[in-house]
């Protein structure tokens, strides 16, 4: 219990610091901590310390909470399904990081990525991370876990929004055109539009 309480306190402190800084930067650009400040700077140290602390706190709290639960026979199917789905989305998240590359992940302009997984959403890392964290929190099912996960999701949303002026400045009209076609996070309507040509092609071949 003491470990869980410590994780909640540490994670909450990191979340408050990150959210406050990200919101403050919307009105005071000089306070901006994302996109990532230069490596080795005080801002960079604070950003990554708080961000990694919050992420680690969320996942450590999830593992400790799940380990502390006792099940008469086995974990309920609904709970196991949520946790498995969260793990699968975690794998997609890692693949999207690899597709983007280290430079762009750390906010170094290396070209606007629009193909592959980026044709579905402008922010596949944030989208999959948000979904994975949400499913994990639902699978764990405790109020502290839900609260801390919500704080982390809020951080990801604010980071995605903070990136957009940076992308616009670097890629100009290319980014404007891309943003007009592809949603920030996820849109079922957009997924259907992307899939429709492939579905029509399959149906056409089946009729032949």
Q: Which of 8, 3, 1 is nearest to 151 (CA)?
A: 8
Token duo for residue 84: 């498995």
Give long-range contacts, CB 8 A cutoff, 24+ apart: 36-40: 36/106, 36/107, 39/106
Q: Give dist(CA 162, CA 32) in Å, integer.
A: 9
Question: What is residue 8's DSSP assignment?
Answer: H
Q: Give dist(CA 184, CA 68) in Å, integer.
A: 37
pTM: 0.85
pLDDT of residue 140: 93
- pLDDT at 172 exceeding the cut of 60: yes
Mean pLDDT, the chain, integer: 86
Q: pLDDT, tens digit, for every residue of 16-75?
A: 999 999 999 888 888 888 887 787 888 889 999 999 999 999 999 999 999 887 766 678
How sure is the predictor about 109, in pLDDT bands with cuts at 50, 70 and 90?
low
CB 31 within 8 A of CB 24: yes
Q: Which of 34, 69, 206 is nearest to 139 (CA)?
A: 69
CB 92 within 8 A of CB 123: no
Tell me which of 70-74, 148-152, 177-181 is least confident. Answer: 70-74
CB 184 within 8 A of CB 125: no
- pLDDT at 178 exceeding the cut of 80: yes
pLDDT of residue 98: 76
How sure is the predictor about 3, in pLDDT bands with cuts at 50, 70 and 90?
confident
CB 89 within 8 A of CB 132: yes
Q: Which of 33, 28, 14, 59 is nearest to 158 (CA)?
A: 33
């Amino acid at each position: 219990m003491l470990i869980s309480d410590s994780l909640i306190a540490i994670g909450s402190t990191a979340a408050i610091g990150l959210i406050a800084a990200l919101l403050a930067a919307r009105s005071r650009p000089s306070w901006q901590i994302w996109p990532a400040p230069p490596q080795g700077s005080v801002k960079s140290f604070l950003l990554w310390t708080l961000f990694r602390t919050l992420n680690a706190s969320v996942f450590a709290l999830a593992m400790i909470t799940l380990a502390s639960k006792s099940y008469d026979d086995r974990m309920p199917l609904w709970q196991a399904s949520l946790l498995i789905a969260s793990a699968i989305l975690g794998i997609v998240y890692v693949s999207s990081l690899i597709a983007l590359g280290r430079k762009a992940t750390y906010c170094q302009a290396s070209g606007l990525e629009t193909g592959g997984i980026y044709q579905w959403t402008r922010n596949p890392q944030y989208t999959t991370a948000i979904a994975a964290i949400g499913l994990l929190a639902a699978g764990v099912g405790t109020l502290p876990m839900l609260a801390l996960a919500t704080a982390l999701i809020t951080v990801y949303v604010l980071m995605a929004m903070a990136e957009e002026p940076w992308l616009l400045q670097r890629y100009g009209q290319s980014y404007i055109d891309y943003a007009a076609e592809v949603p920030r996070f996820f849109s079922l309507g957009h997924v259907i539009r992307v899939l429709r040509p492939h579905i029509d092609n399959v149906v056409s071949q089946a009729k032949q």
